[in-house]
């Protein structure tokens, strides 16, 4: 493993893809029909919901806005 990756693992919690994440993803997709590359956005939100993470800092605020009722969006710009 790269030393930088090891350092990151000591500084940040890794939110793994779990069955609970998948359940949240499927619920999100029923509520917000999504396809293509936007599935990745939905999976980020599903992971956040599964781990109780309420705020996302993103440069992609427009695409993530559909999930604004589920999470708080912050933009650095």
Give the structural domain span for 62.
Answer: 17-74
d(Cα 22, Cα 37) in Å, to the nearest integer? 17
pLDDT for position 3: 83
pTM: 0.84
pLDDT of res. 26: 97
Question: Which H or E run contains 55?
Answer: strand 55-57
Judge whether 6 lies within some domain.
no
The pLDDT tens digits for 7-63 are: 888 888 889 999 999 999 999 999 998 889 899 999 999 999 999 999 999 999 999
Number of domains in the chain: 1
Q: Is residue 33 part of a domain?
A: yes
């Amino acid at each position: 493993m790269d030393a930088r990756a090891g350092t990151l693992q000591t500084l940040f919690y890794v939110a793994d893809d779990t069955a609970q994440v998948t359940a949240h993803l499927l619920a999100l997709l029923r509520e917000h029909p999504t396809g293509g590359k936007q599935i990745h956005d939905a999976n980020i939100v599903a992971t956040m919901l599964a781990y109780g993470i309420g705020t996302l800092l993103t440069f992609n605020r427009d695409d993530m806005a559909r999930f604004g009722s589920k999470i708080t969006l912050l933009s650095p710009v």
